[in-house]
Structure formats: structure tokens, C-alpha cells
Amino acid sequence: MEAFGLLGQALVRVCAPSSLLLMAAGVAVGIIFGSIPGLSAAMAVALFLPLTFSLDASMGLNLLVAVYIGGISGGLISAILLNMPGTASSIATCFDGHPMAQKGDAGKALGYGIVFSFLGSVFSFIILTFAAPPIADIALKFTPVENFGICIFALTMVAVLASGSMLKGVLSGMLGLMVAMVGMAPIDGIARFTFGNRSLLAGFDTLPTLIGIFAISEILVTAEKMGSGKALETVKVNKIKGFGFSWAEFVYQIPNAIRSALIGTGIGILPGIGGSTSGMLSYVTAKNMSKHPEEFGKGCPDGIVATETANNATIGGAMIPLLVLGIPGDGVTAMMLGGFLIHGLSTGPLFLLSHKLCYRSLH
């Protein structure tokens, strides 16, 4: 009963008009940051941190979480419309989102992305609310061996995603490994493949690398068409009602969404992995479990549902090690940790216990 009392008190604070207004503004700004390639959710949260100085703890943290969710969700807009992921979490959204847009179903693709992004976030925050401590205990049992196994498993996805030419897929995977190995080694601090250039000591940041891979290639393809005198293709946009899909289509995607939400939450709990991995893993899983895997990469809604549900479910998962263990799950939650410290809240193993005792003293 005490837990439900705490939950009710939290809901009252969250549903206050001023809090709802702040969260709406935070989500809107986060979407803008996420939808523009080159900006990120981490940048948005960092810029909003000073604005929370004058707010109380609950409203300030509500604002930061809203910006976080908006930033991750906003990446689907540019991924679908421009084939340029606004955030690293939306890489896999490009695979089916942009082909749907080229068929005139951009509205339907955005509808799938928005609805299942929302459901993924809700799912992960329900898990965060009711099951954070026991899940954190499981996360503590993950050793470097298990984390290495996850990384190897992620690399094997190249074999699944490399449709057509396996050689091209393997070469692309090797190129990615080469890019990831540039900079300081995480364990012994030895400079790798920097060739004496100090600017390469920090390695290649994920977001600029993605912009170079996706955005520059798309610009060059468009420039080639214009230079050769070819007329740019015009897409006839199909009209939609509501979010663009029927109730039957929504029900059909529920197993895919639940599976992807579990993957996203699980990956989010493990520090340092992030939404890009969860999105790719859920995409590959959806493709392997599908009765029509040949449709993936050609505008299949299942791919959008999988990756957008997973990358938003990662948000709640990443908050679990932050709150229970005091370990940020990714770059954005590292910024969130600063928000907690600003308001005098120390996350970690004693976080839930101390605030439970404070609640008892007040009542």
C-alpha cells in the first residue's frame, strides 16, 4: 500500500498543469533536436540543464526526461523523410521508413513510428516503476564476458542485414570496426590508429559519422541525378486517416512491439550499449521472426515498429542503472545524472531507500 501511495503522489505531481506544460514544451524541443541531423538528445538535455536551476526537483526532472524522450523520438522524422537518421537510435528506421516514404506512405510510416515510440516509452517506464531493484541486481551480474558476447552477437547481425552481396556486408562491417577502433583504447589508454594526430585521440563520434555515411551519400546521389540532367522523382503522397493504419494492423504489430520493447529495455539496462544497438537487434529479430522477411528493406512497417519501439524502450531501461546503481546507461543519462545532482539527489543503491524513509517521516 505504501508503494501505491508513493505512486499516487508522483502521479499528482506529474499531472499538475504546470508540469504538463513543461513536459509538452520539453518534448517539442526534443523532437526538433532529434529530427535535425547533427543535433542530439544529449545536446538538448545539456542545454536544458541550466533552465532547471529555478525549478523544484520534480518539475526539473520531468522537463529533462521529456526532452530526452522527444530527442530520441525525433530521429525518426529525418530517417523516414530524408533517409538521414537524426539520432544514432534511428539508424534502422531508415531501412524501411524511407522506402515507405518513396512509395507515398510517409504519413503512415510516421504514424507507426510515433505510436510505437510512445508505447515503447510507456512500457519501459512501467518496468522502471515496478521492477527496477530486482532488474538492477541482474544487471550487476553481467561481467565483461557477457558484454563481449553481446558485442559479438551485434556483429553477427551483419550476416542478416547484408541482403544481396555478403561480401559487401562483411566489408562494411570491417570498415565499421576500423572506424570504431580509432582513438584511445578504453582499458590501457594506448592511442590506436591516430597516426600522431591529436585530433583523433577521442575517436570518431557516432553522430557525425552517421551523417557522413547517410546524409553525404544521399546528397551525392541527388547531385548526380541533377548533374546528369535526370529529373528528380516526385512522390505522390497517399492520404491517410488518423495515424495511417487500421486497428487490425495495430493488433497485428502487438507481438512485434512487445518483443522489441523487451529487447530495448534489456539493452538499456546494460550501461554503455545504447539505443542504436537495441534498434538494430530488434530489427534483426523482427526480420528473423517474420513470415515475410523478404519485404524488409523495401518498406515493411514491421521494421519501423521494431526499431522505434526498442529505441524508446531503451530510455526507461537506461534510467534503471542510473537510479538504482548510480551508473549512467548512456550519454544522455550521464547528463541526467547532472540534473539529479543539481537538485541535491544522489542516485545509487541507497537512493530508493533514503527517499522511502523521507516519505515515512513526512507521513
- What stretches of 270-363 show up as alpha helix (H) in DSSP? 275-289, 301-320, 331-342, 351-362
Closest CA to 305 of 32, 65, 44, 100: 100
Percent of the chain at pLDDT above 70?
Answer: 77
Is 341 inside any structural domain?
yes
Task: Name which residue leads in pLDDT, 167 or 1.
Answer: 167
Domain total of the chain? 1
Least confident of 56-65, 94-103, 244-253, 331-340: 331-340
Task: Name which residue leads in pLDDT, 95 or 352.
Answer: 95
Is 176 inside any structural domain?
no
Kindly indicate the confidence band of residue 309, based on its pLDDT and cuts at 50, 70 and 90: very high
Average pLDDT, the chain: 78
Task: Name which residue leads in pLDDT, 115 or 221.
Answer: 115
**Residue 165 confidence (pLDDT) above 90:** no
**Residue 232 confidence (pLDDT) above 60:** no
pLDDT at 15: 75
pLDDT at 137: 67
pLDDT at 359: 40
Is 296 inside any structural domain?
yes
**Residue 76 confidence (pLDDT) above 70:** yes
Question: Per residue in 140-163, pLDDT tens?
Answer: 676 777 767 766 766 666 666 655
pLDDT at 304: 92
Question: Per residue in 233-273, pLDDT tens?
Answer: 666 667 777 788 888 989 999 999 999 999 888 888 776 66
Least confident of 141-145, 290-294, 341-345: 141-145
Give the span between the Cα atoms of 62 and 22, in whole angstroms. Answer: 8
Is 190 inside any structural domain?
no
Residue range(s) defining the domain that contains residue 6: 2-142+247-362
Least confident of 275-279, 337-341, 347-351: 347-351
DSSP 88: G
Whole-model pTM? 0.75
Give the span between the Cα atoms of 101 and 181, in whole angstroms. Answer: 35
Is 226 inside any structural domain?
no
pLDDT at 236: 67
SS3 content of the chain, % helix, strand, coil (to 5): 75, 0, 25
Kindly indicate the confidence band of residue 210, based on its pLDDT and cuts at 50, 70 and 90: low
Which residues neighbour 144 within 8 Å (Cβ) at sequence distance 6 or greater? none
Distance of CA 58 to the CA centre of its chain: 23
Is 241 inside any structural domain?
no
Q: For 339-362, b where at least 16 C-beta lie within 10 A, e where not — what string?
A: bbebeeeebeeebbeeeeeeeeee
Is 90 inside any structural domain?
yes
**Residue 363 confidence (pLDDT) above 60:** no
Least confident of 11-15, 53-57, 127-131, 253-257: 11-15
Is 189 inside any structural domain?
no
Sign of the C-alpha dihedral, residues 167, 300, 108, 318? negative
